[in-house]
Structure formats: C-alpha cells, structure tokens
Amino acid sequence: MAIRTTHRSRLAGAALAVTTGLVCTLSAQPAGADEPAARHCVLDAPSGQQRCFGTFTEAVDRATDGRVTDAPATPGAAVTSPGFRAKMSAPATKADVGAAGDVVQGTFFTDPGFAGDTLTISGPELCEKDGWVNWQYDLGDDWKNRISSVQPWGNCAIWLYPEPNLGGDRDGPFAENTADVGQMMNDRTQSIGFS
C-alpha cells in the first residue's frame, strides 16, 4: 500500500510529497461466530507504517502514542463519549504539539454509523485552517472504496476524493463527526485531504 503525503504552505505555496511503502501487521483478533472481528488500523503517515489491532482501544492507544489508553473497545461507543472526544482533540495548539510528534488527524469507518473496520491517520501537525488542503493521503488498495463515515481530529476538516492524488469531484468538508458521508462518496474514496 502506498501513501502520498502533501503539505501545502500558504506562504511558500510549495508542496512536499513523500511516497512510502507501508507494512501492516495484525495483532491477534478473536473471531465472532457469525462475523469476522473488525480490524482497527493506525497509519502513521510520516513514517508510512500501518499497524492493525483487534480493538479500537488498542488502535487509539497506538495512534496517540499512549496518551489515550482508555478509549472504548468499539468506535460506536467512542462517538458518544464526551470524555473521549476531549482527549482525542488534545493537543489543542501547535505549541502543545511541539516535539511530541504525530497528531491524530482523522478516523475513517467502513460502515455508516461509525461501525466496521477503522483507519486512524496521524500526521506531523495540526491542520492550519488556512483554506488549503494541508495534508493529503492516497489510500492503499486495502482501504480504497471502503469509507462510509468519518471523524475529524487535529483541528482538521476532511475532504474525500474518488481518485488518487485528490482527483475527481470532492465532497466535504466534513468538519464534525459524520455518521454517513452520503451517496456521492460512500465506498468511493481513494484519497483524503485534510484542511
């Protein structure tokens, strides 16, 4: 799976692109009798590493570098938890990020209503809210055409695109938890822009 990361500076007007290969490892997941267990993955965009877990709690712990260790086991429960939202929204400013590293920028769900498999993407900085797409991610084959609901984090709004490299007619911005991205982009996303 390959990801292309682009950061646009409104001052420089230049784009920086990094293409990396990703490695996905799975931790042990208990399989239900009727359906397979959901897969909860974390993508560290700067390093290009993807790791998948059996619970949402484990994925959030990894995505936040241990800052949030008590996330609910299911993403649906996390959506209704105000304490979880507050913890995920931190750090609130660029000064808070400092040397701490990655910022969770968004979580993506394969089913409407914040259900199914999840992909949580972290990037190097908070979004700037400057009218530009600050960070861009091309999804790998295992995530293309699967997104049905989204949660933005890290001061970001999410734009969804039906083609790689932010191509095609985009939909968004999704600036709040969105339980259904709508017919235009449901199961059609191939790249994501964070602004």
Tens of pLDDT, residue by residue over 27-79, are 333 444 455 678 999 998 888 889 999 999 999 999 888 888 888 888 888 87
The predicted structure's pLDDT at residue 36: 61
> Pairing between strand 49-53 and 24-26?
parallel
pLDDT given at position 100: 47
What distance separates the 2 farthest-apart alpha carbons in the chain? 55
pLDDT at 116: 95
Give the pLDDT score at 97.
54
Triad 57, 97, 63: Cα angle to 5°: 20
- The model's pTM is 0.78
Domain carrying residue 182: 2-194
Range in 98-102, 109-113, 121-125, 181-185 with the lowest mean pLDDT: 98-102
Residue 15 has pLDDT above 50, yes or no: no
Total number of domains in the chain: 1
> Is the pLDDT higher at 10 or at 141?
141
Q: How many other C-beta atoms are found inside a 10 Å radius of the C-beta of residue 163?
A: 14
Report whether 31 contacts 18 (CB < 8 A). Answer: no
CATH of the domain at 38: 2.60.20.10
| Residue 194 or 78, more confident | 194
Dihedral of CA 55/59/65/69: which sign? Answer: negative
127 close to 194: Cβ distance less than 8 angstroms: yes
Average pLDDT, the chain: 79
CA distance 6 to 107: 18
Higher pLDDT, 96 or 103: 103
